[in-house]
């Protein structure tokens, strides 16, 4: 070989080695990169590829989070049910497999041969839903059969998990919990307010053709919802609801509401009303059976009335019959229908009609419900679903006096020991009729403590006059009157109050004892807690924390302190004054032997004045030295002959508190305790008590009279039902204030009051 050839071969070998090394280097680099991608981002890329595949996919439902009480008891959960799925593409592979599968499905499930054949007719299908809501027992029996030799040839059958919302305690805490509509959409209560936290994200199983012609699958797991741990104590809630039920059965009332709170942090321990329904079946009309509800109804009128509201032509009405309503003496409602033709050219107007279902026979009740339109039925059920304790407003009456006195003391307008002369009335505007005290003979000289104890309107009017409109309104806003509390429940309303520009002498006087102002129960409860806890206003709340699906804490809902309302010194005075109400005054019926209890009674006359209808209430706490529980009881129109003198609020407070005390570990001062016989661990510290119910007739002579003051002077005003749950801010600008140019309405109907007080009309106002 020539020298030239040798040099050529040597050069070629060198180039080959270089090329080889380059190729090896590139391959090594690519291998390293592929390994890195698979290790570091393999799951992400795999899911991205899978998500783009639409050959065949199946949803994997998430489990909606549980709702627990403060002790871990389940209030709401999601139960597994199962759907039977057939895969025709696999069932039809062999005749043997088809026959075995058909026989097994027909044997273990309620499926006919024709149904089975229809579901496997599409031979390319991987997904045919045959049955839903199967219990696990049926699924387990079928799966066990398939594991035997006899069932070994069964093919193409699987089960999908489907979650169904469940409320294991039925109607217990229904308004606090709410319910879920289709698609896991929370409605009302915790279900609605915390819907986004309770819901999760569905997973998916994707099936696609593999490179070898088979079928592969990839699964993206479902993400379950978070668990909500509430502040509610299931035992306290049950005690409250049992007492409401007992009162409604034995005495009856238009409405009852009760709130139990921890006054030191704003936690709601229990909340209930006499409206109740089963969230497992919220559309069940039986929930209306003992209710008084108002629905909008079309009423036919002759001719055109230019002044009538909401007139519509019969031609445009949905139906050609309109109902007129008459109430008989026993409270039943009868309806008569009138055929309307286009030739008659009659008109109809809409008006609200009240139905007292509690006074109807079963036949009348069902007949009336069947006659409702879908809109009317929803309107009636919405009344039951609505949480009375946060959504309804009313004049609080004398429970409001605690705020008037606390604000005046905090501002230095009055001091402990200041005295006022009660001669039975006050002339607040020269030349106009006087406004009377609850005791027309006059209480004589009373100091601040005595004025609250005997619920002296005269003294309260004098205190408000010393404050003046600006100071009085400032403390209304400080106690959050006329604004939402921000409670974490849907449907809170604001109530109404006079703004400072409209607090004229008469309006200022009546507002001092809770007339002309409307509040919700939760507003009163939250403000009152600050009066007795040292002056700290906390946002009332029903949730303590959120947990992930593994039980780890996601977020703690710590108490939110909004503002300081009064000093601890003033708060201490107020506690002793409120104790005097129970021990020496109008709240005697609320007292329990061996316990220091403070509180305030309320007797608010409803509109129209003089109709004998009242809202009775008592807001109280124990022990006075270190309040551990606040209980607010409202009884709207108790079914008794003398509503104003019944003491219904204080008496029901007494009964509920006696049932609560053995469960809470704060003991009586005399050691005469009632043993708790339940099985649950106590919440905090529990009280026990004498079981005697106090008699209001034993109250002091000064407090015994239930005389009333003059007609309400509040200018016409309209309370708007703002059911938005989004407004959780604390608006101190009085945007929701009561203005003299408006009209207003409470739940008893519309009342038109004038600015002139008549001495012949009484305001029942302890």
Please report which confidence band the pLDDT of residue 757 belongs to, taking 50, 70 and 90 as the band edges. very low
User: How confident is the model over 585-604, as a mean pLDDT?
Assistant: 96
Instruction: Count how many Cα atoms sit within 13 Å of the Cα of residue 68 in the half-sphere of its side chain.
Output: 15
Q: Which residues pair with 218 in a beta bridge?
A: 206
Of the listed ranges 110-114, 307-311, 343-347, 575-579, the one predicted with least confidence: 307-311
| Residue scoring higher pLDDT (20 or 246) | 246
Please report which confidence band the pLDDT of residue 595 belongs to, taking 50, 70 and 90 as the band edges. very high
**What CATH code would you report for 397-548+558-715+737-750?**
3.40.710.10
- For residue 269, the model assigns a pLDDT of 98
- For residue 40, the model assigns a pLDDT of 67
Distance CA 119, CA 125 (A): 9
Please report which confidence band the pLDDT of residue 17 belongs to, taking 50, 70 and 90 as the band edges. confident
Please report which confidence band the pLDDT of residue 676 belongs to, taking 50, 70 and 90 as the band edges. very low
Residue with tokens 């709240």: 587
Distance CA 90, CA 125 (A): 9
- For residue 56, the model assigns a pLDDT of 64
Q: Does 36 score more than 80 pLDDT?
A: no
The percentage of residues in the chain with a pLDDT greater than 90, rounded to a whole number, is 63
Cβ contacts of 491 within 8 Å, gap of 6 or more: 188, 386, 387, 390, 391, 723, 725
Please report which confidence band the pLDDT of residue 691 belongs to, taking 50, 70 and 90 as the band edges. very low
Condensed to tens digits (0 to 9), the pLDDT of residues 58-90 reads: 788 999 999 999 999 999 999 999 999 999 999
Angle value at C-alpha 749, between 748 and 750, nearest 5 degrees: 140
- For residue 28, the model assigns a pLDDT of 81
Condensed to tens digits (0 to 9), the pLDDT of residues 609-618 reads: 888 999 999 9
- For residue 6, the model assigns a pLDDT of 67
Condensed to tens digits (0 to 9), the pLDDT of residues 219-245 reads: 899 999 999 999 999 999 999 999 999
- For residue 695, the model assigns a pLDDT of 33
Give whole-number Cα distances, 719 to 391, 402, 514, 699, 742, in Å: 12, 23, 16, 36, 9
- For residue 298, the model assigns a pLDDT of 79
Of the listed ranges 4-18, 491-505, 630-644, 706-720, the one predicted with least confidence: 706-720
Distance CA 171, CA 282 (A): 10
Q: Does residue 57 contact residue 207 with C-beta atoms inside 8 Å?
A: yes
Q: Does 338 score more than 60 pLDDT?
A: no
Of the listed ranges 144-153, 182-191, 746-755, the one predicted with least confidence: 746-755
Distance CA 624, CA 595 (A): 9
Of the listed ranges 32-46, 505-519, 541-555, the one predicted with least confidence: 32-46
Please report which confidence band the pLDDT of residue 43 belongs to, taking 50, 70 and 90 as the band edges. low
Of the listed ranges 153-157, 301-305, 366-370, the one predicted with least confidence: 301-305
CATH topology (fold) of 59-230 = Penicillin-binding protein 2a (Domain 2) (3.90.1310)
Condensed to tens digits (0 to 9), the pLDDT of residues 564-574 reads: 999 999 999 99
User: How confident is the model over 471-495, as a mean pLDDT?
Assistant: 96
Q: Which residues pair with 563 in a beta bridge?
A: 537
Q: Does 477 score more than 60 pLDDT?
A: yes
3-state secondary structure of 296: strand
The total of other beta-carbon atoms located within 10 Å of residue 273's CB is 26
The continuous run of DSSP H or E covering 243 comes out as: helix 234-250
Condensed to tens digits (0 to 9), the pLDDT of residues 89-112 reads: 999 999 999 999 999 999 999 999
Q: Does residue 707 contact residue 644 with C-beta atoms inside 8 Å?
A: no
Query: Residue 178: which region, alpha, beta or left (left: phi > 0; alpha: psi -120 to 50)?
Result: left
3-state secondary structure of 69: coil
The percentage of residues in the chain with a pLDDT greater than 70, rounded to a whole number, is 77
- For residue 694, the model assigns a pLDDT of 30
Q: Does 681 score more than 90 pLDDT?
A: no
User: How confident is the model over 160-189, as a mean pLDDT?
Assistant: 93
Q: Does 250 score more than 70 pLDDT?
A: yes
- For residue 21, the model assigns a pLDDT of 81
Distance CA 739, CA 211 (A): 77
Token reading at 755? 């600015």
Condensed to tens digits (0 to 9), the pLDDT of residues 389-409 reads: 999 999 999 999 999 999 999
Q: HEC string of 542-564?
A: CEEEEECCCCCEEEECCCCEEEE
CATH topology agreement for domains 59-230 and 397-548+558-715+737-750: no
The pLDDT mean for the chain works out to 81
- For residue 57, the model assigns a pLDDT of 75
All structural domains of the chain with their residue ranges = 3-52, 59-230, 285-385, 397-548+558-715+737-750
- For residue 761, the model assigns a pLDDT of 36
Distance CA 227, CA 57 (A): 28
Q: Does 523 score more than 80 pLDDT?
A: yes
Return the DSSP state at 390.
H
Strands (E), 279-332: 292-301, 312-313, 321-327
């Amino acid at each position: 070989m020539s020298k030239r050839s040798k040099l050529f071969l040597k050069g070629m070998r060198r180039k080959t080695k270089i090329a080889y090394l380059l190729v090896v280097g590139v391959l090594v680099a690519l291998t390293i990169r592929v390994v890195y991608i698979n290790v570091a981002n393999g799951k992400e890329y795999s899911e991205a590829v899978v998500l783009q595949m639409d050959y065949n996919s199946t949803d994997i439902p998430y489990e909606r989070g549980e709702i627990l009480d403060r002790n871990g008891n389940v209030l709401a959960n999601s139960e597994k049910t199962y759907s039977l799925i057939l895969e025709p593409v696999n069932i039809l592979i062999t005749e043997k497999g088809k026959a075995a599968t058909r026989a097994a499905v027909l044997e273990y499930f309620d499926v006919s041969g024709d149904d089975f054949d229809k579901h496997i007719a599409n031979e390319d299908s991987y997904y045919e839903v045959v049955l839903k809501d199967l219990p696990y027992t049926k699924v387990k029996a079928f799966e066990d059969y398939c594991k035997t030799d006899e069932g070994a040839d069964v093919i193409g059958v699987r089960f999908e998990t489907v979650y169904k919302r469940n409320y294991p305690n039925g109607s217990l805490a229904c308004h606090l919990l709410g319910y879920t509509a289709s698609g896991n959409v929370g409605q009302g209560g915790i279900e609605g307010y915390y819907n986004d936290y309770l819901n999760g994200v569905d997973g998916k199983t994707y099936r696609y053709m593999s490179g070898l012609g088979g079928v592969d699958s990839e699964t993206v797991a479902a993400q379950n919802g978070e668990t909500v741990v509430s502040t509610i104590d299931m035992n306290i809630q049950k005690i409250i609801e049992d007492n409401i039920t007992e009162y409604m059965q034995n005495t009856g009332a238009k409405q009852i509401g009760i709130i139990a709170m921890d006054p030191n942090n704003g936690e709601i321990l229990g909340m209930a009303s006499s409206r109740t329904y089963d969230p497992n079946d919220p559309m069940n009309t039986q929930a209306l059976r003992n209710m008084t509800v108002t629905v909008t109804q079309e009423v036919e009128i002759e001719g055109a009335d230019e002044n009538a509201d909401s007139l519509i032509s019969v031609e445009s009405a949905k139906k050609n019959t309109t109902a007129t309503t008459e109430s008989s003496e026993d409270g039943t409602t009868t309806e008569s229908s009138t055929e309307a033709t286009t030739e008659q050219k009659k008109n109809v107007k809409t008006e609200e009609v009240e139905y007292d279902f509690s006074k109807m026979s079963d036949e009348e009740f069902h007949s009336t419900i069947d006659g409702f339109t879908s809109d009317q039925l929803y309107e009636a059920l919405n009344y039951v679903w609505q949480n009375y304790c946060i959504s309804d407003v009313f004049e609080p009456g004398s429970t409001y006096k605690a705020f008037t006195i606390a604000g005046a003391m905090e501002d230095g307008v009055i001091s402990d020991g200041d005295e006022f002369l009660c001669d039975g009335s006050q002339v607040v505007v020269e030349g106009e009729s006087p406004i009377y005290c609850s005791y027309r003979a006059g209480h004589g000289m009373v100091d601040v403590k005595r004025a609250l104890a005997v619920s002296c309107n005269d003294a309260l009017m004098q205190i408000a006059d010393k404050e003046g409109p600006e100071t009085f309104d400032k403390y209304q806003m400080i106690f959050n009157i006329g604004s939402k509390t921000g409670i974490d429940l849907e449907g809170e309303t604001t109530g109404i109050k006079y703004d400072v520009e409209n607090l004229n002498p008469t309006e200022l006087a009546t507002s001092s004892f809770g007339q002309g102002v409307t509040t919700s129960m939760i507003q009163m409860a939250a403000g009152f807690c600050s009066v007795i806890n040292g002056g700290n206003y906390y946002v009332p709340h029903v949730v303590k924390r959120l947990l992930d699906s593994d039980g780890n804490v996601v977020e703690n809902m710590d108490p939110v302190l909004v503002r300081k309302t009064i000093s601890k010194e003033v708060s201490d005075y107020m506690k002793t004054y409120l104790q005097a109400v129970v021990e020496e005054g109008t709240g005697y019926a609320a007292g329990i032997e061996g316990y220091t209890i403070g509180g305030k009674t309320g007797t608010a006359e409803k509109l129209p004045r003089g109709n004998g209808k009242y809202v009775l209430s008592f807001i109280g706490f124990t022990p006075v030295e270190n309040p551990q529980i606040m209980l607010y009881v409202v009884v709207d129109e108790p079914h008794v002959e003398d509503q104003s003198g019944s003491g219904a609020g204080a008496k029901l407070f007494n009964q509920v508190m006696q049932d609560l005390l053995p469960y809470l570990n704060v003991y009586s001062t005399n050691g005469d305790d009632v043993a708790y016989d339940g099985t649950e661990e106590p919440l905090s510290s529990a009280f026990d008590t004498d079981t005697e119910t106090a008699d209001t007739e034993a109250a002091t002579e000064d407090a015994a009279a239930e005389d009333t003051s003059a007609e309400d002077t509040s200018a016409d005003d309209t309370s708007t039902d703002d059911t938005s749950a989004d407004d959780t801010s604390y608006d101190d600008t009085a945007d929701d204030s009561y203005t003299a140019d408006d009209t207003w309405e409470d739940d008893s109907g519309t009342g038109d009051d004038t600015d002139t007080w008549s001495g012949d009309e009484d305001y029942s106002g302890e």
